[in-house]
Chain A
Amino acid sequence: MTEGIKDRVAIVGMGCTKFGERWDVSGLDMMVEACYEAYEDAGLEPKDIQAAWLGTVASFNTGQPAAEALKLDYIPITRVENACATATDAFRNACYAVAAGIYDIVLAVGVEKLKDSGFAGLATGVQSGSGVEPPSPPPVQFALAATSYFHKYGLSYDEGKRVLGQIAVKNHHNGALHPKAHLRREITLEQVLKAPMIAWPLGLFDCCGVSDGASAAIITTPENARKMRDDYVLVKGLGVAVGGRQGMLRDDYDFVHFPENLAAARQAYDEAGITNPRQEIDLAVVHDCFTITELIIYEDMGFSSRGKAKEDVESGVFTLEGDLPVNPDGGLKCFGHPIGASGLRMIYEIYKQIQGKAPGPPERQLKKADIGLTHNLGGRPGSFTCSVAIFGRRD
C-alpha cells in the first residue's frame, strides 16, 4: 500500500529573485540570489544542504552549475527538465528524497536565463530532423485552443477577447503590486483589445512575459521543520501528468480541455484529500502562459464548470478580493516566465501567503490562505507536461 506525500515533507525556507530582463546578472548569479534568500529564510547554512535538484529548461546542462554557483561541494545534484513544469518537478523529486528518508534537508532551485538569446519571444522553433513540422511557437499553439474554445462555447471573437482580456487586466493589477514582478503596471481592457496581434486570436496582452529569474526552496521533514520555525508549510499533494502527442494523434482531442490538467489535478487532489476544489482551495497560482490557458485551467482544475469560466471571470471570483484568487502575484503574465524557475516562483507565492508574509503592500495579503495550489503546464495543446501541487498551513 503506497502512502501519498501528504504531510510528509515541509518547506522551511524559500527565495525568489526579482524577475525581469536581468541583463546585468547571469544564471549563476540568480541562483545565488534565490538560494541565499532561502538559506536566510530557513536559518540554515549552505553546508546543511545534503542534496539538490536543479531545474532548468535551456540555460544549463547537468547539476554542476548549481554546485559552481553555490559551492555545494561534492553533494548529489540532479538536473531536471520537464518543460514548463521543470521547477515543480525538481521540487517534487526533492520532496520524494526526503519522504523516502534518504536525506533530512535538501534544496530545489529553478533558474532560467532567457534574455541572452537576442530574441523577443522564446528562441525556439529551430528544427532538427526532417524539419517539416509547421513552425508553431507557443502563441500559435495556444491560439489553436482559443479558436476552439470560442467556437465550442459560441463566443464571438469580440466576446472571447473580452473574457481573455479581463484575465490579463487582473494579472497586471496583481503583478503591479508585487515588488519582484517583471511587468509592474496596470492595463485597461481597452488596451488589451487594441494591442497588436501576435497569433490570432491572441494579442500582445494575452501572452506572458519572457523573463530571467530564479527561485529556490529548502525541504525537510515535518519533525525537523517544527524545530526550525513555526510557520513552515506542508506539502499536501503532488501530481504530474505527461502527454504523448495524443492531441495530434487523436482526432477527438478538442483543444478546450487538457487531459494532462485533469490527470495531474486528480493525482494531487486525491493525495491532499480535496473533493471540492472550488470550496477547499483558498488561492491558486497557475500557468497563465496565455490568457486562454488560465481560462481553461479554471475549468480543468474544477474551479469553474465546463464552459462557465466566463461567468466566474465576469463576477470577479479570481481577483484578489474574490472567493478564489488566482495568480495573486501577477502570474506568468506579469511576474514573468523564466521557464525553469516558474514552478518554484509559484510555490514561493503560496508559501508567503500561507505564512501571512506576502511581499508588497498589505492589500496583497489574502485574508484566507490555508490551502494553496500551484499548476504548471509545459509543451503544447495535445502534448503537455502538467504538474499540480497542493500546499497547506502546518497542522
Chain B
Amino acid sequence: MTGIKSYGAYVPKYRLGKETAGWGFPAEKAVANFDEDSITMAVAAGMDCLRGIDRSQVDGILYATTTSPYVEKQGAALIAAALDLRRDITSADVTDVLRAGTTALKMAMDAVQAGTASNILVIASDCRMATPKGGLDRAMGDGAVALLIAKDGVAAEVEADYHITDHMLDVWRSSDESTVRSWEDRFVIEEGILRVIPEAVSAFMAKNNLAPKDFQKAAYHSSDARRHAALAKMMGFEAAQVQDPLYDQMGNTGAAFPLMLLVAALEEAKTGDRIMVAGYGDGCDVYSIKAGEGIDKLRQGHRGVKKHVEAKRVLETYDEYLRWRGLMTVAGVRRPTASGPSASALWRETDRVIQMYGSKCRKCGYVQFPPQRVCVECHAKDEMDNVRLSDKPATVATYAMDYLSGTTDVPLVIAVINFKGGGRMLSMMTDRETGELSVGMPVEMSFRKIRSAGGIHNYYWKSTPVRA
C-alpha cells in the first residue's frame, strides 16, 4: 500500500486583507515575508512533515515549484541540506508548471511502488508574483506543503491516479520575467481549467469505476473562487464535498495549492474517507486518496494547513508588501553596500550555515555553536559530535532592536538565544511584533533568505516567536 506516511505544511504569517491600506480587496491572502521564498517555505513545510520522524529514513526528495530562486542550481539539494537529510539520496526539482506538486507526487509514488526507495519527501512550495492589484495578484497566495510518501506505515493510501498532458499558453512566465502572465480571461478559463480538469476527472472516474459520490472531499486547483465553485458543479460534486479552497484566507498557492488542500482535507478526515485531488497546468493530475487507521495519530504533532492559516497577522499597508517584493524602493539609512558572499566559504560552512549543527564535546558534553575543534568548556581537541540545532526549541537570553541597520523590517531584532539542551546563537529574529519581545520568551528556528548579492541567494537560520 503506497501512500502518505506524514504530512506538513507552511503558510507564511502575514496576510493582505481588508485591513491592509491600499490593497482594496476583501479577501485575505497569505504573503511570504521579505526574507521568505519558495526554498525557505519548503524547508518549513519539510520540518513540519518530519516532526517526530527519523530524518535518516528519508531516501529521496522532490521539490516542486514554479519559483525556484535559481534557474541553474538545484533547490532540492539545498532543502535536503537544511532538513539534514542523508547524502545518499535521490533528489530533483520538479518545476515550471503549476501541476509540479501533483506530478512530483506521481514520481514519488512510482519510485516507492517500484521499490527503488522506501520514503520519498515531496515538497511543493510557491511564492509567485503578479502585476500588483491585478486579478492574478488578488487570487495568488504563498505557501508550501510536504508529504512523506512511503509503502509502510502510511496513514492515507494513494488508491488510484490518472494524468493528462495538454500543451497551452494560458498562464505562463518567461525565464527573464518576475511576474506571471495570462491570456484573455475567457480563453484561460473556458479552454483551460474548465475544459481540462473535468475531462481528466471524468476519465479518472470511468477508469477506476468511481463516482463523485464515492468521495468525502474534493481538493482541486482553480484560478479563483468563482471558477472553483463552477468546477464542482461540472464535476458533479455537492458543495459539502468541496474542500474549502481557502481563497479568502490564503489564496492560490501555485504548485503547492492542490496538495495543501489535500492536507487540509486530511486534517479533518475520518478513517475510510476518500479524497479526490486534482492538480492543473499543461494538463491535469488526478488522485484518489483514502484515509487509513493512522490518520488521527498523524494529525497530532503537525501544524499542517489549518494552524498556519489561523496564526496570522494582517499587514497595515500594501506599501509594505511592495517593499518586501522589491517593487518599491524607499530611502534607507546610509550604510556600506554589502558584497556577495563567498561560495567556497558557504560550501565549507554548510554544516553550520545550512544544516545548523553545533558540536557536543564527547569529553564534557558541552554543546557549542558553531562547531568548534577545541572545546570551549574543557579544551579537549577534536572530540566533537555534531548536534542539529535547527529543530531545538530556544529562549531569548537578551535582545536589541536596531533602528539603523537599514533592513526591510525596521527595527531589526537581534536576539541572543539559548537552545534547550545547550548551545547559543546570535540570531536575527523575524516574523516578530516588537511588543511581544521579552527576555526568556520561547523561540524556534526558521530557515530564511538573508540577502541576495552577486547572484547568490544567501540563506541562514533566524529565530521566530513560536508560531502555533
Question: Which A residues fall within an 8 A CB radius of B?
Answer: 117-121, 123-137, 139-141, 143-148, 151, 196-202, 246, 248-251, 253, 255, 382
Does the CB pair B424–A197 fall under 8 Å?
no
Question: Are B412 and A135 within 8 A (Cβ)?
Answer: yes
9 closest cross-chain pairs (CB), A and B: A143-B400, A131-B341, A200-B401, A132-B460, A148-B398, A129-B345, A251-B424, A249-B376, A251-B418
List residues of chain B with CB within 8 A of the CB of A251. 397, 418-419, 422-424
B390-413 Cβ-contact flags toward A at 8 Å (1 or 0):
000000011111111101000110
Known contacts A129-B341, A140-B405; is-contact A199 B400 (Cβ 8 Å): yes
Given A119-B335, A200-B403, are A131 and B458 neighbors across the interface (CB < 8 Å)?
yes
Interface residue B369 (Cβ < 8 Å from any Cβ of A): yes
Report A114 CB to chain B, min CB distance, Å.
13
> How distant is A206 from chain B, measured CB to nearest CB, in Å?
12
A198 CB to nearest chain B CB (Å): 6
Q: Which of A146, A147, A199 contacts B402 (CB 8 A)?
A: A199
- Contact B342–A249 (Cβ < 8 Å): no
B400 touches A147 (CB 8 A): yes
Q: A314 to B64: give the CA distance in the assembly, Å.
A: 63
Is B398 a contact partner of A140 (Cβ separation < 8 A)? Answer: no
Of A120, A131, A136, A146, most B-chain CB atoms within 10 Å:
A131
Name the residue on B nearest A244 (C-beta).
B376
Q: B338 within 8 Å of A by Cβ?
A: yes
Which residue from B349, B377, B414 sits with its C-beta under 8 Å from A250?
B377
Residues 341-360 of chain B: 1 if any A CB is under 8 Å from the residue's CB, otherwise 0? Answer: 11001101100010000000
Partner of B338, one of A129, A131, A200, A249: A131
- Beyond the given A133-B426, A144-B398, please list 16 additional residue pairs across the A-B interface where CB-CB is below 8 A: A128-B345, A131-B339, A131-B341, A132-B353, A134-B428, A135-B402, A136-B414, A139-B404, A143-B400, A145-B398, A151-B439, A199-B402, A199-B404, A248-B424, A253-B424, A255-B397
| Contact for B341 among A130, A198, A250, CB less than 8 A | A130
Residue pair A135, B405 in contact (C-beta under 8 Å): yes
Quick one: which of B289-345 are within 8 Å of A by CB?
334-342, 345
How many angstroms from the CA of A201 to the CA of B369 in the assembled complex? 27
Within 8 Å by CB of B376, from A123, A127, A246, lies: A246
For the complex formed, measure the closest distance between the CB of A242 and the CB atoms of chain B, giving whole angstroms. Answer: 15
Contact check, A249 vs B460: say whether CB atoms are below 8 A apart. Answer: no
- A137→B404 contact, CB < 8 A: yes
B243 interface residue, CB < 8 Å from A? no
**A interface secondary structure, majority:** loop
Interface residues in B418-452 by Cβ distance below 8 A to A read 418-419, 422-428, 439, 450-451
The answer for the CA separation of A146 and B235 in the assembled complex, in Å, is 63
Cα-based distance from A391 to B341 in the complex (angstroms):
46
Q: Once the chains bind, are B336 and A126 in contact (CB under 8 Å)? A: yes
A-B contact pairs, 18 of them (CB 8 A): A119-B334, A119-B335, A119-B336, A126-B336, A126-B337, A130-B341, A131-B338, A140-B402, A140-B414, A199-B411, A200-B403, A246-B376, A249-B368, A249-B369, A250-B424, A251-B419, A251-B424, A382-B426
Which of B337, B414, B423, B428 is the one whose CB lies under 8 Å from A144? B414
Chain B contacts for A117, CB-based, 8 A: 336
Q: Which of B368, B372, B412, B414 has the most CB of A within 10 A?
A: B414
Residues of chain A within 8 A (CB-CB) of B155 are none
Min CB gap A214→B, angstroms:
24
Given A132-B450, A135-B407, A255-B416, are A144 and B399 also a contact pair (CB < 8 Å)?
yes
Report the bound CA distance from A74 to B341 in whole Å. 41
- Return A375 CB to nearest CB of chain B, in Å: 23
Q: Tell whether, in the assembled complex, residue A131 and residue B450 are in contact, meaning their CB atoms are under 8 Å apart.
A: yes
On whether A121 and B416 interact (CB within 8 A), knowing A129-B345, A132-B460, A248-B424, the answer reads: no
- B439, A197: Cβ atoms closer than 8 Å: no
Residues of B within 8 A of A199 (CB): 400-404, 411
Q: Which residue in chain B gives the minimum CB-CB distance to A255? A: B398
A-B pair count, CB < 8 Å, reads 142
Cα–Cα distance between A134 and B338 once the two chains are bound (Å) = 12
| Number of residues of chain B lying within 8 A (CB) of chain A | 49
Q: Give the nearest-CB partner of A256 in chain B.
A: B398
Per-residue contact bits, chain B 196-240, to A (CB 8 Å; 1 contact, 0 not):
000000000000000000000000000000000000000000000
Contact indicator B342/A139 (Cβ below 8 Å): no
Interchain nearest-CB distance for B209 vs A (Å): 55
* Max count, chain A CB within 10 A of own CB: residue among B348, B353, B416: B416
Please report the C-alpha to C-alpha distance between residue A136 and residue B376 in the assembled complex, in whole angstroms: 23
Instruction: Give complex CA distance A145, B368 in Å.
Output: 21
Question: Which residues of the partner chain A approach B425 to less than 8 Å between Cβ atoms?
Answer: 248
A246 — which chain B residues lie within 8 A by C-beta? Answer: 376
Residues of A within 8 A of B369 (CB): 248-249
> Which residues of B lie under 8 Å from residue A382 when comparing CB positions?
426
Contact B458 A120 (CB under 8 A): no
**Nearest residue, chain B, Cβ from A132:** B460
Taking a contact as CB atoms under 8 Å apart, the answer to whether B400 and A144 are in contact is yes
Most buried by B among A136, A143, A147, A251: A251
Given contacts A134-B427, A137-B402, contact A249 B372 (CB under 8 A): yes
What residues on B are CB-neighbors of A249 within 8 Å? Answer: 368-369, 372, 376, 424
Q: In chain B, residues 449-468, which have Cβ atoms closer than 8 Å to a Cβ of chain A?
A: 450-451, 453, 458-460
Say yes or no: A200 contacts B411, CB within 8 Å.
yes
For B353, the chain A residues whose CB sits under 8 A away are 130, 132
Q: How far is the CA of A249 from the CA of B426 in the complex (A)?
A: 10
Interface contact B337-A130, CB-CB below 8 Å = no
CA distance A173 to B436 in the complex (A): 37
Q: Which of B401, B407, B439 has the most CB of A within 10 A?
A: B401
Bound form: Cα–Cα A141–B423 in Å: 19
Complexed CA–CA distance, A259 and B385 (Å): 28
CB pair A130 B346 closer than 8 Å = yes
Are B402 and A130 in touch, CB under 8 angstroms?
Answer: no
CA–CA, A249 to B401, complex, Å?
A: 22
Q: How far is the CB of A164 from chain B (nearest CB, A)?
A: 14
Asked if B401 and A143 sit within 8 Å, CB to CB, the answer is yes
Across-interface contacts of B403 in A (CB, < 8 A): 196-200
The complex places the Cα of A153 from the Cα of B89 at a distance, in Å, of 52
Q: B398, B450, B451: which contacts A151 (Cβ < 8 A)?
A: B398
CB-CB under 8 A from A119, the residues of chain B are 334-336
Q: Is the CB of A129 within 8 A of B342?
A: yes
Q: Complex: how many Å from CA A378 to CA B411?
A: 25
Contacting residues, chain B, for A124 (C-beta < 8 A): 336
Given the contacts A147-B398, A249-B376, A137 and B338 also touching, CB distance less than 8 Å:
no
Q: Given A136-B426, A137-B404, A200-B403, A148–B336 Cβ distance below 8 Å?
A: no
